[in-house]
Amino acid sequence: MIDAKKLLFLGGLAACAVGMGGFLLTPPAKADTWDKKTVIKLEEPLIAGNVVLQPGTYVWKLLDSQSDRHVVQIFNKNENHIYTTILALPNYRLRPTGHTRFAFWETPDGVPKAVRAWFYPGDNFGQEFVYPKRLIAQLAAARPVPMPAEVQPAPEPAPAPQPEPAAQPEPAPAPQPEAEAAPEPAPAAPEAQPAPAPAPKEPAALPKTGSVFPLVGLMGLVSLSLAGLLSVAARRS
């Protein structure tokens, strides 16, 4: 009979072998969760940090560092060439999603999109990229001027201006006839003087209010004079 100790020893070895096999067959999910490895396929140019990624496949990962969990590295598909290392900032969202999520900065027309934030599936925190002002300004300045769809014919050159004729001297103005002297105005007729007012007429008779006593006295005086003259004439005769 087989010793019980040997059976227990063989059972332990079998259990260890099964455990090691299961560990070797487990996909590296923990490793991807740690470095946030993400394979991204671009169909148009994209600004990430200080570089412009052309269409193609790239691998995005966090730097294997315990102290700083916001250093992003971008590799080629085979991970044998690194394009850039980005010092990102922490960013947070309220609702995690089950897929990789990007947010973008606003860029001018004709300039590729610029990544603002990158969120790994299931995380409510992510990496925020600083806005690349200088790079976007250079791309905007180097942007080619759009050509019209239909080429318009070049305008015909304008004819050369004709030389202006020399200015002719203006003819002297013809002598104007002297204006006849205006006749002197006739003297104005003297204004008619108003007729003098008629003198008031003396009354034909004394007013009824006159007294007769002066007339009587005058007649008496005349009578006395005549009497004196008669007496003198009688004496001389």
Question: DSSP E strands: which ranges in 49-160?
Answer: 51-53, 56-62, 71-76, 82-87, 89-92, 101-105, 113-119, 125-128
pLDDT tens across 39-68, in order? Answer: 999 999 999 999 999 999 999 999 988 889
Pull the structure tokens for residue 11: 């059972």
What was the pLDDT predicted at 28? 38
Q: What is the pTM assigned to this prediction? A: 0.49
pLDDT of residue 229: 78
CB count within 10 Å of CB 128 equals: 18
Q: Looking at residue 236, what is its pLDDT?
A: 72
Residues of the chain with pLDDT under 70: 1-31, 144-157, 160, 163-213, 237
198 to each of 84, 193, 201, 202, how far by Cα in Å?
137, 15, 9, 12
- Residue among 134, 143, 126 nearest 51 (CA): 134
Taking only the tens place, the pLDDT of each residue in 81-117 is 999 999 999 999 999 999 999 999 999 999 999 999 9
